[in-house]
Amino acid sequence: MQNRLRIGQAAELLQVSADTVRRLVDSGKIKTARSVGGQRQIDRAALARYMAAQPRPEAPQVVSESARNRFPGIVTRVIKDGVAAQIEMQAGPYRIVSLITRESADELGLKPGVVAVASVKATNVVIELPRS
């Protein structure tokens, strides 16, 4: 798995324009590295730290999604013990927390900076990786 994101991918996760991400990079708020071809790329873990540190806007009071809501986002924190794992994600204005088995978290390779999709149905949150 690549540890870096293109500017457009980061913009999608932040739910802002690519120009806004470029301004964040230019102001030093988000660190980048240059690819072999000279493109600016953002470290996934650094983006996760940036997103986790931002104030969270209030979520809309009425959600007009179906019963199977899917929220693409980025993992910001993972806490594991012997059996369970607590996964925190930032998906736009939403902070999502899911409790899953440690084995599942390990199999998915969940750690800060991993792009994932939270699938919410009733009170259950399922974390999965987006299709490439």
Residues 99, 86 contacting (CB under 8 angstroms): yes
List Cβ neighbours of 64 (8 Å cut-off, separation of 6 or more).
none
pTM, two decimals, is 0.57
Residue 59: predicted pLDDT: 59
Closest CA to 42 of 80, 81, 16, 70: 16
Q: Which helix (H) or strand (E) holds 6?
A: strand 4-6
Kindly list the structural domains of the chain, giving each domain's residue range(s) and its CATH number in brackets, ordered by start: 4-53 (1.10.1660.10), 69-128 (2.40.50.100)
Residue 128: predicted pLDDT: 84
Q: Which residue has the tokens 């000279």?
A: 38
pLDDT of residue 67 exceeding 50, the answer is: no
- Identify the residue with better confidence: 8 or 2: 8
E-state strands within 11-132: 32-34, 40-43, 69-80, 84-91, 94-101, 115-121, 124-128
pLDDT digits (tens, 9 = 90+) for 17-55: 999 999 999 999 888 888 888 889 998 888 988 988 888
